[in-house]
Chains A and B, each alone.
Chain A
Amino acid sequence: MKRIYAVGLNLLFLFLFITFSYGEQVEIRILHINDFHGFVEPYKPLGSDELLGGISYLATKVNELRKEKPTLLLSAGDMIQGNNWANLFLTESVIEWMNEMRFDAMVLGNHEFDFGREVLKKRISEARFSILGANVEGLIGIKPFEIKELKGIKVGIIGVVTEDVPLATHPRNVSDLRFISPMKIVEKYIKELKNKVDIMVVLSHIGYPADRVLAEKVEGIDVIVGGHSHTKMTKPVSLGKTLIVQAWEHAKALGVLDLFIKDGKIIGFEGRLEEIKPEEGKEDRASLAILNKYKEKVDAVLNEKIGEAEVDLDGENVRKRETNLGNFIADIMRRTSGADITLINGGAIRTSIKKGEVRVKHIYTVLPFDNTIVAIKLTGRQIRKALEHGVSVVEGEEGRFPQISGLTFAYSPSKKRGSRIKEISVSGHPIDHDKEYVVATNDFLAAGGDGYKVFGEAIQSSRDLSAIGGMMRGEKVVYNDSDRGLRDIVVEYIRGEKKIAPKVEGRIIEIH
C-alpha cells in the first residue's frame, strides 16, 4: 500500500514539475465597452437602418461569453452624459447597472466629471468595482491601477484619462484637480508593476490617435483598451508588442479580446467586436429590470412642473420673426455667459408652449438638441455679416433666421441678399463695426452650423486657447461650458423664476 502511495506522489510531483517547467497555455478573455453615455435602449444611429445597442442584449452576450473562459469586464470611460436615463439621475442608474453586471474596472472619462465633484465622489463610493484614474491627482476614492488574477495570471490594469479634461468641462468640476500626462504616468506605473504582474493592460480614455502614440513610445504595455474617440475597431491593432482595441460607442458593440498566455507571456490573441442588436427572447432580466425602473422615473422627472407661463410661448414663428420664446432663451444664454449679445438660430427652437404650467418635458421638446453655450468675441462688422446671413433666406423660413438678445436690428426682405440689414443697435447704441462684442451662441452655430461662418473665423484667429481658471478660453473664446446643456440651464432658470411672461419687444423689425 505504501508503495502505491509513493508511486502516486511521484506522479503528482512529476505532473507539477512538467507544468511549472514548461508552462501551461492559459486563455483569458477581456470584454470591454467604452463611451456608453447612458444609451440603454437600442436605437437607429444616423446613417444606419438597423436598431443597435441595448443593455439587456449586451448583458446576455456578456453572460454567454463569460461562461466560456476566465473573463474581465472593463469600461474605458464616459459611461454617462448624453441620455436622460443617465443624466436625470446624475448617473446613479449607470452605476447600479454596472454593479449588476459585475464590471471589474472602469477608467474615468472626461464626462464623468460633468456633474461635479460631490456627485462623482458619491458614484465612486457606490461602485462595487475599481474606478481608475492614475493621472488624476486630488480625487478621493479612485485608484491608479488594479491587479486582477485569472487562472493564475496576474493582470495589471492602469487607468488614464485625457489630460484635456479641464478644457472641456466647467471649472467648478475640476477645481483642485491635476491632470498629468498619461504617457508619463503609464511609464511610472509600468516600472512599479512589471515584476508584480504577468500582463499589463492600459485602460485608456485618451482616444485612438493618442493610444497609438502611447503604444509606440511606452514599452511594456501588452494591451490598450481604449475609448474617447468612439472608434469602431473591428479587430485589434498590433503596434510593436502592444495590442489596441476599442468598442465604438453606446453599447452598440461589445469588444472581445482573447489572450493566449504561456509562461506569463502573450503567445497569441483573437479579437472581435460583437454587434449588439435586439433579439426576441434574448433580454437579460436583471438589466431589463434596472432599465425599466429608471425609465419610469424618467417619465416622472420629465413631468415635473417647474413653473408657469403667463403667456403663450411662441416657438412656431422663430424662423421668420422675433418671438417671445426666442427672446426668453436668448436672454438666458446672454445672462449665463455674461455676453453682450446672444445670436442663435431659430431652428434650435422646435415648438411652442401654451400658457399655463411649464414642465421639464416642455423645455426638452422645445430644445431637443444637446446644445451648449459658447461665447465668442466678434467685431461689429462680423455681427452684421452674421445677421445678413441669418435673414438671407427668410422667405424660405429656414432655421438660420436669428433669435437675439442685447441688440436690435431692422431688415428689408425685399432687398437683395447680403444688403438686407439696416440699422443695428447694441444696448441702445449704434453698432461699432470695429469694436469687439462678446456674442453668446450655441455650439452648433459656433461650429458653423446653418452656414454661419463668422464664429469659425473667430475661432480660427484665436490661436491662444488654453485652460484659464479651469475653463477653456482664448483671445476670442470667452465662454465654453460643454458639459451643461442649454435646456437644463433653461429648466433651472424657470424653476428659480416660477412665473415667466416674455414679450416681443421690437428687437427685430421688418421694413419694406
Chain B
Amino acid sequence: MRVYVNQESVDVLPGMTVRHALIAAGFFKEIETLKKVYDEWGNELGLNGALSEGMKIKIRSTKSQISNSK
C-alpha cells in the first residue's frame, strides 16, 4: 500500500499504521519533539490509526508549522 508522508511516498503493508508510515519516511523521531500528525483534511491522527491506499499525512509542530525537515 502506498501512502504519502509530507508528500514523500512510502510503501507499507496492509494492516500497518500511521506509526509505520512515519518510520518508513524517516520521521518517527519528529513525534517525540512535540510534533503531531494530520490527515489531508487537517484532522489530527493517532499513531496507531489505520492507513488507506493513497492517504496523505503531514507532520506539523504543535505550533501548527509544517515541518519539511527530516
Contact A229 B45 (CB under 8 A): yes
Which chain A residues numbered 431 to 466 have a C-beta less than 8 Å away from chain B?
A: 443-444, 446-449, 451, 456, 459-460, 465
Closest A residue to B54 by beta carbon equals A209
- How distant is the Cα of A37 from the Cα of B55 in the complex, in angstroms? 23
Q: What per-residue 1/0 map shows which CB atoms of B12-36 lie under 8 Å from chain A?
A: 1111101011011110100111111
Q: Is the interface of B mostly helix, strand, loop or mixed?
A: loop
Q: What per-residue 1/0 map shows which CB atoms of A47-59 lie under 8 Å from chain B?
A: 1110000000000
Given contacts A456-B11, A482-B15, A448 and B26 within 8 Å (CB-CB): yes
- How distant is the Cα of A23 from the Cα of B48 in the complex, in angstroms? 45
With a cutoff of 8 Å between Cβ atoms, the chain B residues found around residue A169 in the complex are 15
- How distant is the Cα of A167 from the Cα of B1 in the complex, in angstroms? 12
With a cutoff of 8 Å between Cβ atoms, the chain A residues found around residue B12 in the complex are 447, 459
Closest B residue to A249 by beta carbon equals B46
Of B15, B18, B26, B36, the most chain A CB neighbours within 10 A belong to B15
Which chain B residues numbered 40 to 70 have a C-beta less than 8 Å away from chain A?
A: 41, 43-50, 52, 55, 62
Given contacts A230-B18, A230-B49, A47 and B43 within 8 Å (CB-CB): no
Contact B11 A374 (CB under 8 A): no
With a cutoff of 8 Å between Cβ atoms, the chain A residues found around residue B13 in the complex are 374, 443, 446, 459, 465, 472, 477, 480, 482
With a cutoff of 8 Å between Cβ atoms, the chain A residues found around residue B28 in the complex are 449
- What distance in Å separates the Cβ of A160 from its nearest Cβ neighbour in chain B? 14
Contact B10 A448 (CB under 8 A): yes
- How distant is the Cα of A459 from the Cα of B25 in the complex, in angstroms? 14
Closest A residue to B18 by beta carbon equals A230
With a cutoff of 8 Å between Cβ atoms, the chain A residues found around residue B32 in the complex are 46-47
Asked if A82 lies at the interface with its beta carbon under 8 angstroms from chain B, I say yes
Closest A residue to B22 by beta carbon equals A447
Contact A229 B24 (CB under 8 A): no
Number of inter-chain CB pairs below 8 Å: 110
With a cutoff of 8 Å between Cβ atoms, the chain B residues found around residue A110 in the complex are 50
Given contacts A447-B20, A459-B12, A37 and B48 within 8 Å (CB-CB): yes
With a cutoff of 8 Å between Cβ atoms, the chain A residues found around residue B48 in the complex are 35, 37, 82, 230, 249
- What distance in Å separates the Cβ of B17 from its nearest Cβ neighbour in chain A? 8
Closest A residue to B1 by beta carbon equals A465
Contact B45 A448 (CB under 8 A): no
Closest A residue to B9 by beta carbon equals A460
- What distance in Å separates the Cβ of A216 from its nearest Cβ neighbour in chain B? 14
- What distance in Å separates the Cβ of B16 from its nearest Cβ neighbour in chain A? 6
With a cutoff of 8 Å between Cβ atoms, the chain B residues found around residue A229 in the complex are 39, 45, 49-50, 52
Given contacts A232-B45, A477-B13, A47 and B62 within 8 Å (CB-CB): yes
- What distance in Å separates the Cβ of A38 from its nearest Cβ neighbour in chain B? 12
Q: How large is the interface on B (under 10, 10 to 19, 20 to 34, 35 or more residues)?
A: 35 or more
With a cutoff of 8 Å between Cβ atoms, the chain B residues found around residue A480 in the complex are 13, 15
Closest B residue to A162 by beta carbon equals B50
Contact A448 B14 (CB under 8 A): no
Which chain A residues numbered 132 to 179 have a C-beta less than 8 Å away from chain B?
A: 162, 164, 167-169
Contact A444 B23 (CB under 8 A): yes
Closest A residue to B24 by beta carbon equals A448
Contact B45 A447 (CB under 8 A): no
Asked if A207 lies at the interface with its beta carbon under 8 angstroms from chain B, I say yes
- What distance in Å separates the Cβ of A413 from its nearest Cβ neighbour in chain B? 25
- What distance in Å separates the Cβ of B13 from its nearest Cβ neighbour in chain A? 6
- What distance in Å separates the Cβ of B53 from its nearest Cβ neighbour in chain A? 9
Asked if A411 lies at the interface with its beta carbon under 8 angstroms from chain B, I say no
Given contacts A231-B49, A233-B43, A47 and B36 within 8 Å (CB-CB): yes
With a cutoff of 8 Å between Cβ atoms, the chain B residues found around residue A407 in the complex are none
- What distance in Å separates the Cβ of A476 from its nearest Cβ neighbour in chain B? 10
Contact A167 B14 (CB under 8 A): yes
Contact B31 A47 (CB under 8 A): yes
- What distance in Å separates the Cβ of A52 from its nearest Cβ neighbour in chain B? 11
Asked if A210 lies at the interface with its beta carbon under 8 angstroms from chain B, I say yes
Contact B52 A207 (CB under 8 A): yes
Contact B34 A209 (CB under 8 A): no
Asked if A248 lies at the interface with its beta carbon under 8 angstroms from chain B, I say yes
Can you report 14 A-B residue pairs in the complex whose CB atoms are below 8 A from each other?
A35-B46, A37-B48, A47-B33, A207-B49, A230-B47, A230-B48, A232-B46, A249-B46, A249-B48, A443-B16, A443-B20, A460-B11, A465-B1, A472-B14
Other 12 A-B pairs with CB < 8 A, given A49-B34, A460-B11, A472-B15: A35-B49, A162-B50, A164-B15, A209-B52, A229-B50, A229-B52, A231-B43, A232-B44, A246-B43, A447-B16, A447-B20, A465-B13
Binding site for B on A (CB under 8 A): 35, 37, 45-49, 82, 110, 162, 164, 167-169, 207-210, 228-234, 237, 246, 248-250, 374, 443-444, 446-449, 451, 456, 459-460, 465, 472, 477, 480, 482
